[in-house]
Amino acid sequence: MTTSYLLLNGGVPLAVLALLWRSVRKLNARRALLNLLALALLTAVFDNLIIGLGIVDYDSSRILGLRIGLVPVEDFGYTLAAAYALPALYRWLGERGIDGN
């Protein structure tokens, strides 16, 4: 069975967000949105560079075909997870007293 990039780059991050949903809801909405915008911009710039330089390529039969520049939209799944799930995970770990402090 072959895996699509949508499942890998969308499904996995969404599953992580679902598991951390309570902590995600506690995040400051403005800060999380600013994180998302900054990370999306960085993803768009650097993914376009590495794809344009031929360092990375995608099997066109496994992507939706929607692109931002050269970047398949599926690539932004991990950006979404980084903007929301990482801060939520940090909060969740801190609430359990295992954040290193």
Burial 78-94 (b: 16+ CB within 10 A, else e): bbbbbbbbebbbebbee
Q: How far apart are CA 32 and CA 75, in angstroms?
A: 19
Cβ neighbors of 57 (< 8 A, separation 6 or more) are: 51
pLDDT at 101: 54
pLDDT score of 75 more than 80: yes
Residue 35 pLDDT more than 70?
A: yes
Say if residue 97's pLDDT is above 80. Answer: no
Read off the pLDDT band of 1 (50, 70, 90). very low
In tens, the pLDDT along 45-66 reads: 999 999 999 999 988 888 888 8
The per-residue pLDDT for 98 is: 66
pLDDT at 83 over 50: yes
* 13/98 Cα distance (integer angstroms): 23
